[in-house]
Every structure is written in structure tokens, then in C-alpha cells.
């Protein structure tokens, strides 16, 4: 595991609503962040994203399972996100597996997350979740 990925993974996994000032230690001012639901440019936009995340969800925790530096300044984190949201899954805990593809120099300047958006959101909405579960069963 590279020293950078270790430091980043530890810093990222310990973020919470009270420590978002540390985002500037992890990410460059011109960071480009993308996941299946969002595309953000710049550290202020990324901070706003995390502020909203921590304001709406509870018991947020990332378990980092693996890191892999595939080239100098490029690598992956494999993780599981655990959280609760009052409007999803009846407020019960949700776990989501995913990975992050990172590019860095001294800080991360490109961060792209890969995860199943349905498993994050749509499967936990009443009625819609049942329809998605039925469709997944039919396609399996």
C-alpha cells in the first residue's frame, strides 16, 4: 500500500460533520469529483456535498477494505459505506460496497466513485424498492 493511499484512506475514513475543514488536506482546490449521482468541480462544491451528506444521513462510516496503487499518482480504494437515512429503508442501517479511483500529486485532484446507485438509494424507497427488487429477480 502506498504511503499516500494509506494517509488518504485514514483521513477520508475519519471525516465527519465536524472535521470537513480537513478536506483541504486531502483534496486539491480544483478537485474533480464524480459518482453515479453527482459531478462536482472544486473544493467548495465538494465541501457542500459532504455538508449535505452529513446533514441528511446519520451514523456514516466507511470501512476501507483494500488499496491499490496502479501507477505513480493513481490508485483505487475498495470500501463499504454504512449509514442511516430517515427516508430510506425505514431509517434502518444501509451498507453499500464501492470503490474510488483516485489521481493525485500531493493531494487528490480527481476522485471517481463506482457503486450501484440502486443499492444506495432506489432500492430503499417504499414501492420503488419493491419494483426494483422484482426486476432484479426477473433478470437474475
Domain boundaries, the chain: 3-139
Range from 25-29, 67-71, 85-89, 109-113 carrying the lowest mean pLDDT: 85-89
- Tell me the CB-side half-sphere exposure of residue 96, using CA atoms within 13 A: 22
Band (pLDDT 50/70/90 cuts) for residue 125 is: low
- How large a percentage of the chain has pLDDT more than 90? 63
137: cell is: 429477480
Architecture of domain 3-139: Roll (3.10)
Band (pLDDT 50/70/90 cuts) for residue 97 is: very high
- Tell me the CB-side half-sphere exposure of residue 118, using CA atoms within 13 A: 10
129: cell is: 424498492
**129 vs 45, which has greater pLDDT?**
45
Amino acid at each position: 500500500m502506498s504511503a499516500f493511499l494509506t494517509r488518504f484512506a485514514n483521513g477520508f475514513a475519519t471525516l465527519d460533520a465536524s472535521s470537513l475543514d480537513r478536506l483541504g488536506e486531502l483534496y486539491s482546490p480544483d478537485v474533480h469529483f464524480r459518482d453515479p449521482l453527482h459531478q462536482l468541480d472544486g473544493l467548495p462544491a465538494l465541501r457542500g456535498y459532504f455538508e449535505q451528506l452529513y446533514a441528511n444521513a446519520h451514523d456514516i462510516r466507511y470501512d476501507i477494505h483494500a488499496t491499490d496503487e496502479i501507477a505513480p499518482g493513481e490508485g483505487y480504494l475498495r470500501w463499504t459505506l454504512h449509514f442511516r437515512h430517515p427516508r430510506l429503508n425505514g431509517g434502518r442501517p444501509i451498507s453499500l460496497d464501492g470503490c474510488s479511483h483516485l489521481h493525485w500529486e500531493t493531494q487528490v485532484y480527481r476522485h471517481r466513485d463506482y457503486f450501484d446507485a440502486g443499492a444506495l438509494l432506489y432500492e430503499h424507497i417504499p414501492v420503488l424498492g419493491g419494483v426494483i427488487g422484482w426486476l432484479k429477480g426477473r433478470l437474475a
